[in-house]
Chains A and B, each alone.
Chain A
Amino acid sequence: MTTSSFHRRRLLAATGSALALGAAGLLRPAFAQTVAATPSMRGGSNNYRPEAPIIERIGGGGFWMTGTVRRAGDGAPLANQRIQIWAHTTEGHERDARSHGATLTDADGIFRLEMPQIVPAFGQAHGHLAYDSGDYETVFLRPLMDSPSQTSLEAHFVLQPV
């Protein structure tokens, strides 16, 4: 499977599921508020650069940033949501534009972006993720790696509708 076909299919699926989810939400307006919104983490927005482009991968890849995006309250997966990702990697500092990229969630609210290996910076191996597209409250995350030798990192968003 090539990366580009994977990407296009994911976009198509995401668009369809966004419509389906919207309808589902309307049918269940009184669903109990059970899933709490994710708060921003301390330092999450450090070295943020607005409007990171949606790209196939950041740099040469080799490391996977993955996660989910759901709606606060009913916990429904949110498709087609833009998640921005940046980190200090083997290819650049956090502040460098080439260390930044964005991707969209698929039909199941899952995102996955390949990027260069994250290396420890400022004392911890960590990544940065942002949701700030405006439909939901802005959230900045700063997940830590258990070990610098990890080749993937997860971060999960539960977004509060504006």
Chain B
Amino acid sequence: MWVVVALVSIVPLVAAANSPLLAWRDPIYILAGFAGVAGLVLLLLQPLLAAGLLPGLSRARARRMHRVFGLSLIVAILVHVAGLWITSPPDMIDALLLASPTPFSIWGVLAMWTAFAALALAALRGRLPLRPRHWRYLHMTFAALVVLGTVLHAVLIDGTMETASKSALCTATLVAALAAVWRIRSQYGHAAAKPADKTVR
């Protein structure tokens, strides 16, 4: 499991680092692109951590990592957007206003806002008038939209990512998200699990 996750995460980064397109880009544009790739890798890990699917990690450890990686994902999104804005302000403004000619932009913007929503829920956990299981459903729904939006965004882009390693990472991310939803639902999704709700996450 760890080997698969490591390979699927690292190979796309190495392949992107060897992209011929890098020769024709400014450092800030390169940084923005890699923030996007790093964000995609974090999105593979997040559901695995949330559902405790990585062997050898205690649930408490996995949960702490899920929080740290979640914040890292938000930072990656901000660097991605800011770097692209500096590189070409009108293209980024079009994307954020949903007026871009590129079909992948709208998916990226969807993923960004749902990631912010998932972050807001995480930050306000326990302070919202939500039952733990409703909080969990909402957070998972936003997270699922982040994954879906990001994968569509990445797949439609002709950029520094190499096609095969990008496809593998995107597929693995979708599978991880589905597995996590299934695992969490089967753990807590029924009435009998209510007492456990208090201690979850």
> A residues bordering B, Cβ < 8 Å?
41-47, 88-91, 93-95, 119-125, 142, 148
Contacts and interface: CB of A to CB of B under 8 A. Distances in A.
B91 A119 contact: no
A47 B90 contact: yes
Given A41-B101, A42-B99, A43-B100, A122 B91 contact: yes
B101 A142 contact: yes
Contacts of B88: 46-47, 93-95, 121-122
Contact of A123 (B26, B99, B156): B156
A91 B105 CA distance: 26
A104 B26 CA distance: 32
B172 interface: no
B164 interface: no
Contacts of B26: 93
Given A43-B101, A93-B87, A95-B88, A123 B94 contact: no
Contacts of B94: 42-43, 46
Nearest to A125: B158
B89 to A, nearest CB: 9
A120 B21 contact: yes
Interface residues of B, number: 22
A123 B90 contact: no
B84 interface: yes
A157 to B, nearest CB: 17
A153 B12 CA distance: 30
B101 A88 contact: no
Contacts of A120: 21, 158-159
A119 B24 contact: yes
Given A89-B24, A90-B24, A122 B90 contact: no
Given A88-B24, A93-B26, A122-B102, A43 B158 contact: no
B57 interface: no
B200 interface: no
B157 interface: yes
A142 B65 CA distance: 44
A90 B24 CA distance: 5
A94 B91 CA distance: 11
Interface string B65-83: 0000000000000000000
Pick the most buried of A120, A125, A142, A148: most chain B CB atoms within 10 A of its CB.
A120
Nearest to A46: B90
A95 B156 CA distance: 24
B104 interface: yes
Nearest to B160: A120
18 contacts: A43-B91, A43-B99, A43-B101, A43-B102, A47-B88, A90-B24, A95-B88, A119-B21, A119-B24, A120-B159, A121-B25, A122-B102, A123-B102, A123-B104, A123-B157, A123-B158, A125-B158, A142-B101
B100 A148 contact: no
A124 B91 contact: no
